[in-house]
Amino acid sequence: MASQVNKNTSKRIKDIKLNSLLQITKAINNNFSTDKLLEIFKEVLETELKIGKLVLYSDSQNGWSCILKYGVGDEYDNINVERDLLPIQEIGTINFSKKNLNNSFEILIPVFHKSKALAYVLISDLEDKLEVSPAIKHLNFVQTLASIIVVAIENKKLAKESIQQAAMKKELELASQMQSMLFPSTLPNDAQLDTAAFYLPHQEVGGDYYDFIWLNENECAFCVADVSGKGVAAALLMSNFQANLRVLFNHTTSLTELVQELNAKVLASAKGEKFITLFIAKYNLVTHTLTYINAAHNPPLLATKTSVSALKVGCTGLGMFDEIGKIKEGIINITQGTTIVCYTDGLVELENDKGEDFGIDSLKEIIKNNPDIDMKSLNSVIMKTCTDYKQSKPYIDDIALFSLRIH
């Protein structure tokens, strides 16, 4: 009679385990929530298999945490998993660093995927019994079930992260497209002016900016600017700056007034947390006069047939101080064939494998050695030289390059 009872009990337990596996598989296939999967896990172990106590720790972006427990109090919520559990890689017992937690659990089950620890399951019974405890009796099944559920939860987490990353990538691609619309769609290339530009953001979007604006039929303005920092925050500030600059040019063509107003706008937008360096210039095609202000930007290079000089005259950067002190305007009479190359620091601070900067002298040599090529070709030579120079080093910052030749 006892033998028949044992057989019936054994068959019932096997049916419970089989049904549990089928239930979990169906739940995973139907993309049940993590909470629902854990509820099924608890129901099987506590109600069906009579395992009295359980704690389940899982790894997440915010570190290890307890995601399921029953039969115990809050004392297991904040144990040091890295110290107490991570060294254990096989089923066994545990000695907690907090002595009052010892002897509370019979078994520790680590759950690994490949070589990565995903979870730890602690199981035990509420009372000592003469027969083999359920925690020991069903150990292999508990390990199997825990592995299935934990891996399923991990896959859900990875799928969610993948969706979030895809959405973020799509948003950044859109932001990149929107940012490209801030740059002039066409640049003059005729008998009076030859202009060309190049832009390479360090990330999908960046904080460098160049522009070319016709003020009237005889005057044009051009600029290059750089927001401190990189990425989305820099790009947002730069888009705001570009809008302000174009609006202000409708009200004044005085570079000094423009820079003062832009300084106030940058302060209002950035709250003192970021600043902008700017080189801005006007050129009169009739008088052949170039007027410019360099607001702490990398000095553009002005090349004639006989020399290469840096355009340094100006003031402090925008957004650094409530009021810009003395603003100086540089004024130059331009001769035929003059070339002006404006750039941001991502170009000249590019490093090679030895940690050496590309530097302004290298840029000067390229301009000197290519006096007759068009501006698009000059930019291509500059970037090709930089790419070769950096060797295996990555680009470390946004790069903007604007070149102009006056015929």
Query: Tens of pLDDT along 96-148?
Result: 777 767 667 778 888 887 778 888 988 887 655 545 677 677 888 888 888 88
- Residue 305 in this model has a pLDDT that exceeds 50: yes
Looking at 93, 127, 161, the residue that finishes a domain is 161
Q: Looking at residue 20, which CATH number applies to its domain?
A: 3.30.450.40
pLDDT at 162 over 70: yes
- Regarding predicted confidence, which is higher, 125 or 318? 318
Question: Which range has the worst mean pLDDT, 22-26, 239-243, 283-287, 296-300?
Answer: 22-26
For residues 24 and 60, membership in a common domain is answered with: yes
Rounded percentage of the chain residues whose pLDDT exceeds 70? 91
Residue 131 lies in a domain: yes
Is the pLDDT assigned to residue 222 strictly greater than 50?
A: yes
Handedness of CA 196, 342, 293, 264 (dihedral sign): positive
Same domain for 217 and 322, yes or no, is yes
Residues 241 and 278 in one domain: yes
pTM of the model: 0.64
Poorest-pLDDT segment among 172-176, 228-232, 256-260, 309-313: 172-176
Element (H, E) at 72: none
Residues 66 and 200 occupy one common structural domain: no
Do 283 and 219 form a contact (C-beta atoms < 8 A)?
yes
Give 347's pLDDT tier (boundaries 50, 70, 90). very high
Quick one: 67 and 10 in the same domain? Answer: yes
How many Å apart are CA 201 and CA 183, to the nearest integer?
13
Q: Which of 95-99, 207-211, 228-232 has the lowest mean pLDDT?
A: 95-99
In angstroms, the CA 405 to CA 338 distance is: 6
User: Hey, what amino acid is at 144?
Assistant: T
For residue 65, is it within any domain?
A: yes
Domain extent for 28: 2-161
Q: Does residue 175 sit within a domain? A: no
Q: What is the mean pLDDT of the chain?
A: 86
- pLDDT band at 287, cuts 50/70/90? very high
Return phi, psi of residue 146, to 5°.
Answer: -65, -40
Dihedral of alpha carbons 190, 193, 194, 198, sign? negative
The 10 Å Cβ neighbour count of residue 77 is: 12
Looking at 96, 126, 161, which one is the last position of a domain? 161
User: Is 172 part of any domain?
Assistant: no
60: which strand partners? 63
CATH code where residue 367 lies: 3.60.40.10
Verify that 38 and 85 share a domain, yes or no. Answer: yes
> How many domains is the chain built from?
2
User: CA-to-CA distance for 263 and 203, rounded, in angstroms?
Assistant: 26
Identify whether 350 is part of a domain: yes
Please check whether residues 214 and 361 belong to one and the same domain.
Answer: yes
pLDDT reported for residue 394:
87
- Structural domain ending residue among the three candidates 110, 130, 161: 161
Token pair listed for 285 = 């095609």
| Of 59-68, 88-97, 196-205, minimum mean pLDDT range | 88-97
Is the per-residue pLDDT at 407 higher than 80?
yes
Residue 183: its pLDDT value, please? 85
- Which residues 6+ apart lie within 8 Å of 34 measured at CB? 67, 153, 156
Pick the closest to residue 347 from 403, 404, 276 (CA basis).
Answer: 403
Q: How is residue 24 written in tokens?
A: 């979990």
Under the banding of pLDDT at 50, 70 and 90, the label for residue 174 is low
Domain annotation covers residue 168? no
My answer on whether 35 and 97 are in the same domain is yes
Report how far residue 56's alpha carbon sits from residue 65's, in angstroms, rounded to the nearest whole number: 8
Q: Decide which of 78 and 119 is more confident.
A: 119
> Which residue has better confidence, 340 or 164?
340
What pLDDT does residue 72 have?
Answer: 86
Instruction: Check: CB of residue 228 under 8 Å from CB of residue 235.
Output: no
Short-list 210, 237, 235, 212, CA closest to 224: 210
Residues 140 and 208 in one domain: no
Identify whether 339 is part of a domain.
Answer: yes
Q: Please give the Cα distance from 295 to 277 (Å, whole number).
A: 6
**Same structural domain, 263 and 138:** no
Let me know if residue 187 belongs to a domain. Answer: yes
Is residue 148 located within the same domain as residue 196?
A: no
The token pair at 360 is 């302004």
Given this model, what pLDDT does residue 96 score? Answer: 75
Does 155 share its domain with 193? no
Instruction: Tokens for 22, please give them.
Output: 């089928």
| Residue 201 main-chain phi, psi, to 5 deg | -70, 145
